[in-house]
Chains A and B, each alone.
Chain A
């Protein structure tokens, strides 16, 4: 029976469960991998090449905590909206509304950043006077929205292929420069010395956290696929943890090659560290490979971001936190088509008027707000439903250490963002405060309060 036939017989139209662990990996790594091609290197400008390596590992710890915590909660609360659905069931509606907005902002601004990066990269390669990035931005956002509109399976199949090509390009670059031999191509000993490793001392390392986030920003996006994977309890933890391992390896290889080819003063300001690394090897093949890989990584990231932002927005509509009009599912393609179309002009408008730094900062801020919530969320989850009271697809080890580590690292990152973008941080917090007032005093009256809690769990302990 086709989807259209089923609707005529009175069945509900819902998202399709067609994805597997590879799609979850493609969604998570696809969103993140662009951070290796640009973004992470600005941490070298903040604190030097060694600071970029330190934050690579410390922020890696933050995201490993995110991945473990997310895997446990999402394998239990398997619904579109990801962290929004988690917050709704574990903390409450106001937190859920805020978390959904964090998600939509983080992913939409990241999509905008990806499109700007792709446009700027093509313009830089072309070197043609008068050529602007606008047509490439428009084509990127509209084509990917169309792909998302037409179905999640094809969207994430495409993401898997282009993410894999971009990832393999990093591996090829790494092995092409004889990483086991210093002096032949790589010159780490000369470029990173005790005298310049940490030019601004340890405060530079703290400041570098802001851009160290880019090594892994968005891996938590895997949870948005929860309602479309065939076996959420198995696929989500597997895909997320595999993605995190993949990214840790890519981040380490990227830092090693780039820090061994470029002085930190240049590494910290270039927009294309891996493409530049390809150029510096002197191989036209590597240069062109890394140019194409930069474009593919930006495409994969924007593609995953459209997928995730639309599902978070769709979930808000489904629970009437926003007008239920947004909760429509396409009867043929089984996608949240109205949410995809609604967010499309917003992304285009920001991409045409915003600059890359502003878009990236808003994305990072929303992401870190979300991670702070996750550390509190898992503590409440384990307290209200201890192990053994509900079925979990995955149970993360060493609780509550990952939650405490995550919270502490989020505080450090907020401080780092405050150092660089204090006014944006305050403006964003003020925005979330005002929108929370609107939700509490106006919008929540339209929510069907009993219908929003859908998990068949026992009452939480203490209630």
Chain B
């Protein structure tokens, strides 16, 4: 049983790794680099939490 489980672990690892690589390729070819890297630190704090004392 344990040996079978070890083979199942290899299989799960390969399948999930391939899925992530496929999704990475799909996202990077669908969206522009400007959109993907558009996150900015502190945006929400500045916009919605109005820093007041």
In this complex, what residue of B is CB-closest to A140? B9
- Complex CA gap A167/B24 in Å reads 36
**CB of B33, distance to nearest CB on chain A (Å):** 8
What 1/0 mask marks residues of chain B from 8 to 50 whose CB sits below 8 Å from any chain A CB? 0110110011011101100100010101111111111110010
Knowing A12-B39, A12-B43, say if A138 contacts B24 (CB, 8 Å): no
Contacting chain B: which of A63-71, A210-218, A322-330?
Answer: A322-330
Known: A7-B35, A390-B53. A79 touches B41 (CB 8 A): yes
Name which residue of chain A comes closest to B45, CB basis: A78
Known contacts A14-B39, A79-B42; is A135 also within 8 Å of B10 by CB?
yes
A139 touches B39 (CB 8 A): no
Q: Does A456 contact B (CB under 8 A)?
A: yes
The distance in angstroms between the C-alpha atoms of A44 and B17, with both chains bound, is: 40
Residues in B with CB closer than 8 Å to A329 are 36-39
Across the interface, which residues of A come within 8 angstroms of B40, CB to CB?
12, 14, 318, 454
Check if B37 sits within 8 Å of A327, measured CB to CB. yes
With A143-B12, A327-B39 already in contact, the answer to whether A131 and B6 are too (CB < 8 A) is: yes
CB–CB B41/A328 < 8 A: no
**Is B31's CB under 8 angstroms from A128's CB?**
no
Residues of chain B lying within 8 A (CB to CB) of residue A80: 41
From A128, A325, A332, A454, give the contact of B42 (CB < 8 A).
Answer: A454
Known interface pairs A325-B37, A331-B36; A456-B46 also in contact (CB < 8 Å): yes
- Decide if A25 is an interface residue (CB 8 Å cutoff): no
Interface size class of A (residues with CB under 8 A): 35 or more
Contact of B17 with A142 in the complex, beta carbons under 8 Å: yes
Chain A 447-463 near chain B by CB (<8 Å), digits 1 or 0: 00000001111000000
A85 contacts partner chain B, Cβ-Cβ < 8 Å: yes
Chain A positions 117 through 161: 1 when the CB is less than 8 Å from some CB of chain B, otherwise 0: 000001000101001100110110011011001000000000000
Give Cα distance in the complex from A149 to B24, angstroms: 10
Please tell me which one of the listed residues A126, A331, A338, A456 contacts residue B31 in the complex, with CB atoms under 8 A apart.
A331
**Residue A383 CB within 8 A of the other chain:** no
Asked whether A319 and B27 contact (CB < 8 A) given A138-B10, A139-B13, A142-B12, the answer is no
Q: Which residue of A lies closest to B48 (CB)?
A: A17
Please tell me if the beta carbons of B53 and A135 are within 8 angstroms of each other in the complex.
no
Q: Max chain A CB contacts within 10 Å: which of B39, B45, B52?
A: B39
List of B residues within 8 angstroms of A149 by Cβ:
20, 23
CA distance A397 to B24 in the complex (A): 46
Chain B residues with CB under 8 Å of A331's CB are 27, 31, 35-36
CB pair A138–B9 under 8 Å, yes or no, is yes
Please give the distance in Å from A152's CB to the nearest CB on chain B.
14
In the complex, the answer to whether B16 meets A146 with C-beta atoms within 8 Å is yes
A391 at interface by CB-CB < 8 Å? yes
Residues of A contacting B24 in the complex (Cβ-Cβ under 8 angstroms): 337-338, 341
Assembled-state Cα–Cα distance A127/B16 (Å): 28
Interface residue ranges of A289-345 to B (CB < 8 Å): 315, 317-319, 324-325, 327-332, 337-338, 341, 344
- Asked if B43 contacts A13 (CB within 8 A), the reply is no
Q: Does A15 contact B (CB under 8 A)?
A: yes
- For residue A283, CB closer than 8 A to chain B, the reply is no
What residues of chain A lie closer than 8 Å to B19, measured between beta carbons? 146
> Closest 5 CB pairs between A and B?
A454-B42, A139-B9, A135-B9, A126-B2, A12-B38
5 new A-B contacts at CB < 8 Å, known A138-B9, A318-B41, A332-B27: A13-B36, A122-B2, A126-B2, A135-B6, A136-B9
| Chain B residues packing against A (C-beta within 8 Å) | 2-3, 6-7, 9-10, 12-13, 16-17, 19-21, 23-24, 27, 31, 33, 35-46, 49, 51-53
Sampled A-B contacts (23; CB under 8 Å) = A7-B31, A7-B35, A12-B39, A13-B35, A122-B2, A131-B6, A132-B6, A136-B6, A138-B10, A139-B9, A139-B10, A149-B23, A318-B37, A328-B37, A329-B37, A331-B27, A331-B36, A337-B27, A341-B20, A341-B21, A390-B53, A391-B51, A456-B46
